[in-house]
Amino acid sequence: MKTNNVEYTTFSGWVDPPADIVPALTDDLTCDVAVVGGGLGGMSTALRLAERGQDVVLLEAEFCGHGASSRNAGQVAGAPGGDLQLLNLFFRTKMPGMIRLAEHAAHHVEDLIRTHGIDCDYEQTGNVFAAVSRGQLGRVRRVAKILQRAGGHVELGTSEELGIPRGFLGGMREVVGGIMNPGRFTSGVRRALLSSSARTFEQTKVTDITRDRGQVRLTTPHGEVRANKAVLATNAYAGEWDITPPRLSVPIWVTEVETEPIDPARLAALGWTSRSGLVTQHNIMENYHLTPRNTIVFGVRRLERGTTYPLPQKKPDPRLVEELAQAFATRFPSLPDVAIDRAWGGWIAITSSWLPLAGQIDDDVFYSIACNGHGLAQAPYVGSLIADLIVDGERHEDLAALWMKKPAFPRPMMMGPLGLRTIWAVDRFNDLVNGSRRNARRGSAPAA
């Protein structure tokens, strides 16, 4: 695979930044609810509050959609993120609630697309947990049992039965959800927000959140907002303020790349008839997404821990892009000459338990911080449920499933640079063993 002409971007490969960036806040003002962060989580919260008649202000440091929401892999998941076997071991009773939340979140996104007429290439294909080894096939079967027992809608099959490329051995499809261009989806939600009664200020970074005379006071460089309630929806960036509970989540950098357009006849020969998004069953997954522009977007494989705030604007590491290209060559052996055109990445938040979470700090500050890399559907859904909670005073049962009563969080295990490197090394060791087995079956020499 060719990697000599890759365009490295600090934003996203899916869309360009908006041309109509909204002016910054330059005055002091008051409102019922202030929302901080204009990702899918924050925008959905503000939109819903505005629809329900609240006087709402949204403050976004760059432009709405600048964060992970426009940069992700575009796979609308119908199951929770994280290691489902471990989650089932430690949080068995929470599994039905988590799965219901994930499926409802995917349907909520479908509703948003319909309601606001968002053109984002959504295809209701589901996503496949795709196995690249017999070990991964075993894992997929165990995960399928866990999900089915907890009420999830999944189906097992061979690669032919699932309509996925023959470089994968088979897997399990989450029937709910699908694939989309997340940049266009996020732009569509931004347009809906800007047409609503919510007052939106872009280029307005909240530098401090304090309480003063019974209100929440949000400080920005050129103005101050006083609100009766505030919602923190900055995901990976939440650790910048003192008000955020310690160790709520850790910021992790994730990378995606996109191939050049591929000849449709060659794509057809892959057997990817279902067009389902794919995620491998490594400890740190690879994902593959076939787009309507006849490219393949793929990524992850290595996670990088953010260690200092403010989080830097980053470009992907060319060594990781090279490594992703090698993985692609193994999964798609018939496409060795295809080039990677562009690479980008983004910050996500990972919680110590790997469970998504939302909660409250005293009576007036709410947060919906981390969907552990599954927030394309979950962040907007949880955002709208928080808006309903603020208006109605009652928690929907899906919100109750991830509500954290006491903001006390253990240190996230394995999320330090050394832990992440170790998990990566285990995945590479397993790949090496599986590659040797494959070669031995074919009668050739083992891979170096």
Ligand X SMILES: Cc1cc2nc3c(=O)[nH]c(=O)nc-3n(C[C@H](O)[C@H](O)[C@H](O)COP(=O)(O)OP(=O)(O)OC[C@H]3O[C@@H](n4cnc5c(N)ncnc54)[C@H](O)[C@@H]3O)c2cc1C
Footprint of ligand X (CB under 6 A): 36-42, 59-62, 66-69, 71-75, 77, 205-206, 233-237, 240, 254, 256, 299, 345-346, 348, 371, 373-377, 379
Closer residue to ligand X, CB minimum distance, 8 or 135: 8
Closer residue to ligand X, CB minimum distance, 133 or 372: 372
Q: Provide the minimum distance between the beta carbon of 123 and ligand X in the complex, in angstroms, as a whole number.
A: 14
Q: How far apart are CA 180 and CA 278, in angstroms?
A: 13
Q: Provide the minimum distance between the beta carbon of 347 and ligand X in the complex, in angstroms, as a whole number.
A: 6
Q: How far apart are CA 122 and CA 111, in angstroms?
A: 12
Q: Which of 237, 221, 412 is nearest to 312 (CA)?
A: 237
Q: What angle do CA 246, 249, 251 make, to 5 degrees?
A: 120
Q: Provide the minimum distance between the beta carbon of 300 and ligand X in the complex, in angstroms, as a whole number.
A: 7
Q: Provide the minimum distance between the beta carbon of 84 and ligand X in the complex, in angstroms, as a whole number.
A: 15
DSSP helix, strand, coil percent of the chain (3-state; round to 5)? 35, 25, 40
Q: Provide the minimum distance between the beta carbon of 91 and ligand X in the complex, in angstroms, as a whole number.
A: 19
Longest dimension (CA), the chain: 76
Q: Provide the minimum distance between the beta carbon of 141 and ligand X in the complex, in angstroms, as a whole number.
A: 23
Q: Provide the minimum distance between the beta carbon of 367 and ligand X in the complex, in angstroms, as a whole number.
A: 10
Q: Provide the minimum distance between the beta carbon of 106 and ligand X in the complex, in angstroms, as a whole number.
A: 9
Q: What is the dihedral of CA 255, 256, 259, 260, to 10 degrees?
A: -100
Identify the sign of the CA torsion 78, 254, 191, 239: positive
What residue type is 431 in one-letter code?
A: D
Closer residue to ligand X, CB minimum distance, 79 or 162: 79
User: Helix, strand, or coil here: 376?
Assistant: helix
| Sole residue written with tokens 């253990």 | 410
Q: Provide the minimum distance between the beta carbon of 36 and ligand X in the complex, in angstroms, as a whole number.
A: 5
Closer residue to ligand X, CB minimum distance, 240 or 398: 240
Beta-carbon contacts of residue 107 (< 8 Å; ≥ 6 apart): 176
- Measure Cα distances from 95 to 82, 146, 244 in Å: 12, 9, 27
For residue 383, the Cα-to-chain-centroid distance in whole angstroms is 14
Q: How far apart are CA 36 and CA 58, in angstroms?
A: 6
Closer residue to ligand X, CB minimum distance, 53 or 106: 106
Residue 259 forms beta bridges with which residues?
Answer: 340
Closer residue to ligand X, CB minimum distance, 345 or 359: 345
Q: Which of 367, 406, 378 is nearest to 34 (CA)?
A: 367
Closer residue to ligand X, CB minimum distance, 29 or 434: 29
User: Helix, strand, or coil here: 395?
Assistant: coil
Question: Which tokens is 349 given?
Answer: 């938040």
Closer residue to ligand X, CB minimum distance, 133 or 234: 234
Q: How far apart are CA 192 and CA 224, in angstroms?
A: 25
User: Helix, strand, or coil here: 238?
Assistant: helix
User: Helix, strand, or coil here: 298?
Assistant: strand
Q: Provide the minimum distance between the beta carbon of 133 and ligand X in the complex, in angstroms, as a whole number.
A: 22
Closer residue to ligand X, CB minimum distance, 38 or 82: 38
Closer residue to ligand X, CB minimum distance, 135 or 284: 284
What residue type is 376 in one-letter code?
A: L
Closer residue to ligand X, CB minimum distance, 190 or 396: 190
Q: Would strands 215-220 and 208-212 be described as parallel, antiparallel, or unpaired?
A: antiparallel
Q: Provide the minimum distance between the beta carbon of 127 and ligand X in the complex, in angstroms, as a whole number.
A: 8
Q: How far apart are CA 268 and CA 163, in angstroms?
A: 11
On whether the CB atoms of residues 82 and 380 are closer than 8 A, the answer is: no
